[in-house]
Copies of this chain bind each other. A is one copy, B any other.
Amino acid sequence: MKKVEAIIRPEAFQTLRQNLDHLGVKGLTVSEVAGCGQQKGQEGIFRGSRFEVKLYPKVKVEMVAEDHELESIIDVIMDSCATNEVGDGKIFVSTIEEVFRIRTGETGKAALI
């Protein structure tokens, strides 16, 4: 099982959510975060001291899904969240070893679906 963690622009979330829903991805967890990425050329020296580098509000969307769903989830995130302007965000993929549905005690694939 994989965890897909996408850090996106807050304004991209509704579109992403609808597109994930059409793909059949129903389970996700959202949190409000702040962040910064590469900002080459956006920093500068002002009277000898560096500009404060701002933190931008972002939304973190976490989806745990089966391995074979990974590629289509990544595609949907790209399609939904890329604007071609810097700051569109990042996707991080990692392994989840076990999942449990608390209501039933189910594990593995049965706990996800």
Contact = CB atoms under 8 A, between A and B. Distances in A.
Interface size for chain A: under 10, 10 to 19, 20 to 34, or 35 or more residues?
A: 35 or more
A98 interface: yes
Please state the number of chain copies in the assembly.
3
Interface in A74-92: 74, 77-78, 81-92
A35 B39 contact: no
B94 A94 contact: yes
A2 to B, nearest CB: 8
A15 interface: no
A105 to B, nearest CB: 6
Interface of A: 2-3, 6-8, 17, 21, 26-39, 50, 53, 55, 58, 60, 64, 74, 77-78, 81-103, 105, 111, 113
A2 B91 CA distance: 14
A96 B98 contact: no
A112 to B, nearest CB: 8
